[in-house]
Amino acid sequence: MPGHDHRIEVFLSYASEDGGLLAKLEKHLAALRSEGLIQSFHAGDVGAGQASREVTEGHIERADLVLLLVSADFLASRECYERDVARALARREAGQARVVPVLLRACDWRHTKLGELKPLPKNERPVRSWEDEDEAFAEVARGIREAVTAITGARSAALPHRAPRRAQGEVRRADKVREIMQSLSKPECVGVALLAPLGFEAHQVAGEVLHRLQRPGEALLPVRLVPEVRATDEERFYGRLLRDLRWALPAPWRALVDARAEGSAKDRFEYAVDDLLGGPVAEAGRNLLLVVDGLAHVPAPQLEQWGYLMARLSGRGLKLLVWGGRELHDLCTRPPSGGLYSAFHMLSPVSLGALSAGEVRDLVLERGGEEAAAEVLCDETGGHPALVRELVDGHADDVRAGDREALLARILASDHMARLRRTVGGDAEAQEVLRALAGVAERPLPRRLRGEERLAWLGVLKDAGATRWDWVAPAMQRFAAEWS
């Protein structure tokens, strides 16, 4: 199309403390810009007199490639981590953008929602830890060039006669988001537990909910909390929650948190939430929604006590949105202790499943493939979201070719399967069941095996919990054989 700009739109999200490192990275991207391959934007490019957030969000929405410049300051930034990252991951889930973390300084990024992404530099060494920062940035620039080349190739391969349309995967996510929003809007609803097996991308659905709740006029006021990872000390656990609560609030409301200087962190957290519910939140005609990430890494005793506290506060108008796998499911379904119900017993469950054949087909068609190739991809992945995304985004040529052997090899060598191996490597029960099932061809099984449900929550088995079962994807049987 004459006059059409074919450059890849790149958005860089960074913490202000990393401005110097951002400037160095931009110098290393100069070659891509001079070649006419990319045009880049970051918050520092906003002109005087412009509405900074509005301009920034517009660029995130248009970006083909989002670079997240990760550091401790980035993870601690409400604007970067809660807003930019949530929207970027939601657009990645919809197949609208690629998202690449760039590790600038050492931090605990693996236990965040960025942990499932493949970062740069490829060796996962933060730029600041290299003896020569220019060498590190050169490696990052090469990785960015590879991503730009892949995006350009996917564009070029698109069939010219096929009109653009929204991917069905995006419709599926919208349906789940709508279900969550409808549940949360009911006065009697305490909150929602979003349940998903490993790799089923619940955090991205939650991110889309957060994005929608930022719109003007929404009755729910979302506050995102990320508990201290593996904090066994109550003071540290509630101290982190209190800090997140304060940072997420509008500036005029923070005085309510600061006013509670006495007592334990747990008491101050409870008092602060109670003061908010009975004060500015109620006066604004809104409901406070705590959006809690990282529950799988919190020790069970801490979670149990936190659930009782949340149950008390829910009676005063508090709502919750949490997500996870088996651990969250167990919290929601275990019998009450001593007749006491925690907030987990009161949550409305919303479950994520595999992508349907139609959803996989539309993702492949959007990238220039044919229906026959989509059928092969669906057969080989079973619609597992993480596997589908990784193959469609990273190995489009194999997907379009519909080469079963090549796709199987890609699946077994994928980042998701590497993550699954690390998880199973520390789970003796899962290994035992995998060994038992590796050579089994019959379905149903002659008897139920202990540990089937564990493998279902790991995204290895489907229809588990009874004697009738199957692998999520054919490659999972090959994976099971690795433990024999």
Predicted local distance difference test score (pLDDT) of residue 165: 45
The whole-angstrom separation of Cα 48 and Cα 62 is: 21
Predicted local distance difference test score (pLDDT) of residue 155: 64
Predicted local distance difference test score (pLDDT) of residue 441: 60
Predicted local distance difference test score (pLDDT) of residue 73: 94
Query: Torsions phi, psi of 292, nearest 5?
Result: -115, 120
Pairing of strands 98-103, 65-70: parallel
Q: Is the dihedral of CA 375, 379, 380, 383 positive or negative?
A: positive
Predicted local distance difference test score (pLDDT) of residue 162: 42
Instruction: Give the containing element (helix H, strand E) for 102.
Output: strand 98-103
DSSP state of 129: G
At which residue do the structure tokens 């090549």 appear? 406
CB 221 within 8 A of CB 248: no
Residue 328 falls in which region: left (phi positive, over 0), alpha (psi -120 to 50) or beta:
alpha
Predicted local distance difference test score (pLDDT) of residue 50: 39
DSSP state of 17: G
The whole-angstrom separation of Cα 311 and Cα 332 is: 13
Predicted local distance difference test score (pLDDT) of residue 243: 84
CB 105 within 8 A of CB 82: no
The whole-angstrom separation of Cα 370 and Cα 378 is: 13
| Sheet with 220-225, edge to edge strand ranges | 220-225, 287-292, 319-324, 191-195, 348-351
pTM for the predicted model, two decimal places: 0.66
Task: Indicate the length of the chain as a whole number.
Answer: 484
Q: Which two tokens stand for residue 394?
A: 């990273």
> Residues of the chain whose pLDDT is less than 50?
1-5, 47-51, 158-169, 171
Residue type, 84: D
Q: Is the dihedral of CA 110, 114, 117, 120 positive or negative?
A: negative
